[in-house]
Amino acid sequence: DRLVDKLAQLGDSLKVGPASDDATDVGPLISPEAKQRALAIVEKSVGSEGAKLALDRRTVALEPPFDKGNFFGPTIITDVTPDMTCYREEIFAPAVSVVAVNTLDDAISLLNANPYGNGCGIFTSSGSAARHFVANVDVGQVGVNVPIPVPVPYFSFTGSRGSFHGDLNFYGKNGVAFYTQYKTVTSNWKFSASDGMSGLHGVGASQS
């Protein structure tokens, strides 16, 4: 697969190291527990569930004092199916799970069958394919030729389904609404002859 081959070449070229090194491309995970969790997910998916590795840099050798750090290098898992642990669990590490489908509609069905709906993206030169994808995918944040569809602050962070709890998203108009207390004023004016407006009346309502 040409895409996987290119990803593997790119991942293999990235430098893993401490964030204090300007040449570092991939820094450490947040804790030893996070590293062990990521290692366990990949090991289970490959060891007993049938996935394969197109790139395996889980074990990274660094010079002291970083040799005992929480480093996990770029890793690409292929032949992944939706029942595998690496698909069902977010790894929280520089690991990519590759699921192959035959058609665009198969890809949409795969996404819509997932219990979560945080973000997804499509890379294409076809406007019709992009429009079909955007219209039919049930995901809160959709990118077209954008790798991470996280909106800028004046749009809401619109995860859906299992990726959303409550009644309002944060950021954007919904973020403002969360901190807004609405006031509704209803008024009824009746005018007398002494006002010079005999017989007139009005009812109005406003919300702010």
Q: 59-107 pLDDT, tens per residue?
A: 998 999 999 999 999 999 999 999 999 999 999 999 999 999 999 999 9
Check residue 179 and give its pLDDT. Answer: 80
* Dist. CA 54–CA 51, nearest whole Å: 10
Instruction: Look up tokens 């009812």; give the residue.
Output: 203
- Token code pair at residue 184: 């509704």
The helix (run of H) or strand (run of E) holding residue 189 is strand 184-190
Mean pLDDT over 138-153 rounds to 80
- Asked whether the predicted pLDDT for residue 145 surpasses 80, the reply is yes
Q: Give residues with Cβ within 8 angstroms of 16, minimum separation 6.
A: 24, 25, 26, 27, 57, 60, 62, 71, 72, 73, 74
Q: How many CA atoms lie within 13 A of 1 on its CB side?
A: 13
Tracing tokens 């109005």 back to the chain, one arrives at 204
pLDDT of residue 181: 83
Please check whether residue 87 is in contact with residue 99, taking contact to mean a CB–CB distance below 8 angstroms: yes
Each residue's pLDDT tens digit, 112-129:
999 887 788 999 999 999
